[in-house]
Amino acid sequence: MANPRALSAKYEEDFAYPTVKDRLPIILTRVIDHVYRLKSTITDQHSEAGLEDLKFICAALSRLKSEIQTDKPFRPLEDVMEDTGLWNEHFRETEKEEGRPPSWFKSPWLYVECYFYRKIMESFHLSTHLKTFDPFQAQKQQAYLASRQAISSLGSYLTDVCLWGNKCDLSISAGAENPQTTNPVKQLTNLKPNLLCDEGDQVWQHLRDNNSDIQHIDIVLDNAGFELFGDLCFAEYLLCSGLASTVHLHAKAMPWFVSDVTEGDFHWTLDQLSKDESPKLQKLAERWRRHLADGSWKFCIHQFWTLPYDFVKMKTSFPQLYEEFSRGKIIFFKGDLNYRKLFGDLKWQPTTSFKEALRGFAPTAVCTLRSVKCDLAVGLDEGVAETTTAKDKNWMVSGDWAVIQVCSTLS
């Protein structure tokens, strides 16, 4: 049976269309404005050369914005990063498949949106002094600080609240502030009815049943800020409960989709916790640094997460990474982008089984913790999509509904 079509902005009914038409240009405008406001700081640090970098970056981003709005063909990457060759190879493959160069309103949405963020980073990589600059850093840090009260509350509870941290996504709000301001533990009760598929019991059953020879557990992270803190609490619980001897935390190799976790975000978060006025948060930071030092936690960076590939390609393109996952007990995939990549960003029927939509990606048990933010959902019971539409016609893009889904290769 053939796979369904890819989500794409060439279909105005797809969420890809308003994303490419409206959200991406807004994100670019925010980045340009942010970079321009740093003019004095960058000039002080790097003198005239820094100013020339800023001019170059702003010009490159302005050109990118114009290309989006006029549906210009993509251009191969021109920087010399580790992944440049893979990106340009994907460009050539897509050009061959489509019979024309890929473009913003015609090509698959997953490729388009990933290319967008990679082109932003290219403008910085091609500069002289700002190659490693994170244009989203200030937004991510502000999102954490604005969620300080909720983080303090959650510091007293180590639960699976990390699922709902995914509501605090900066890319879905085009970079506008979206902090966690309510009590996260109390909010769980209120949000329980919004779980469209809750296979949490199967997840815990899998963890308990496969505990005789304790293996590591993988968490593929999504957003920085409050969500990252929730994920770290979850990782702590997995260790304390004896469900895992080690937890591998996987983050992005570069700034990505506005709010995704990078290594810099991870260490900045630990620094904030270590100097917080709350002794509980200080102790958590100290404990989590010990986990990193003794190997109980492993913080992992891999270029695979910032390529335009869906996860089916992992086994052939990065077999070592696939093999590492196969040695673990379960992989928790956080958030919407990971969900899209798991299922190829294809327009599946919501009742399509979770296992079928994975299309063979099964290094070990796979669990998704995802707030629904695009028109892609699988594994729902008959009638759930229709019933939810009657309650909320925007349920697939609002972030107010969620799923906990699992596929165990051991069952």
> Are 183 and 190 contacting, i.e. CB atoms less than 8 angstroms apart?
no
Segment 392-399 shows an average pLDDT of: 95
Least confident among 41-45, 96-100, 135-139, 386-390: 41-45
Which residues on adjacent β-strands are paired with residue 150? none
Distances (CA, A) of 42 to 129, 137, 241: 9, 15, 47
Residue with tokens 């929730």: 230
Q: Are β-strands 297-301 and 330-334 bridged in parallel, bridged antiparallel, or unpaired? A: unpaired
Which residues on adjacent β-strands are paired with residue 407? 366
pLDDT at 214: 63
Which residues on adjacent β-strands are paired with residue 108? 8
Segment 210-217 shows an average pLDDT of: 74
Q: Which of 105, 117, 50, 107 is nearest to 77 (CA)?
A: 117
Least confident among 8-17, 83-92, 153-162, 398-407: 153-162
Segment 132-149 shows an average pLDDT of: 95
> Are 246 and 219 contacting, i.e. CB atoms less than 8 angstroms apart?
no
What backbone phi and psi angles, to 5 degrees, belong to 298?
A: -125, 120
Of the candidate CATH numbers 3.40.50.1820, 3.40.50.10880, 3.30.70.100, 3.30.1360.120, the domain formed by 141-407 belongs to 3.40.50.10880
Which residues on adjacent β-strands are paired with residue 24? none
Q: Which of 103, 231, 74, 92 is nearest to 162 (CA)?
A: 231
The structural domains of the chain, with segments of one domain joined by +, span: 16-125, 141-407
pLDDT digits (tens, 9 = 90+) for 264-300: 999 999 999 999 999 889 999 999 999 999 999 999 9
- Classify residue 324 by its DSSP letter: H
- The CA-based angle 8-11-12, given to 5 degrees, is 120
Question: What sign results for the dihedral spanned by CA atoms 178, 196, 160, 296?
Answer: negative
Q: Are β-strands 402-407 and 365-371 bridged in parallel, bridged antiparallel, or unpaired? A: antiparallel
pLDDT at 314: 98
Mean pLDDT computed over every residue of the chain: 91
Q: Which of 361, 346, 355, 348 is nearest to 314 (CA)?
A: 361
Is domain 16-125 given the CATH code 1.20.930.60 in the classification?
yes
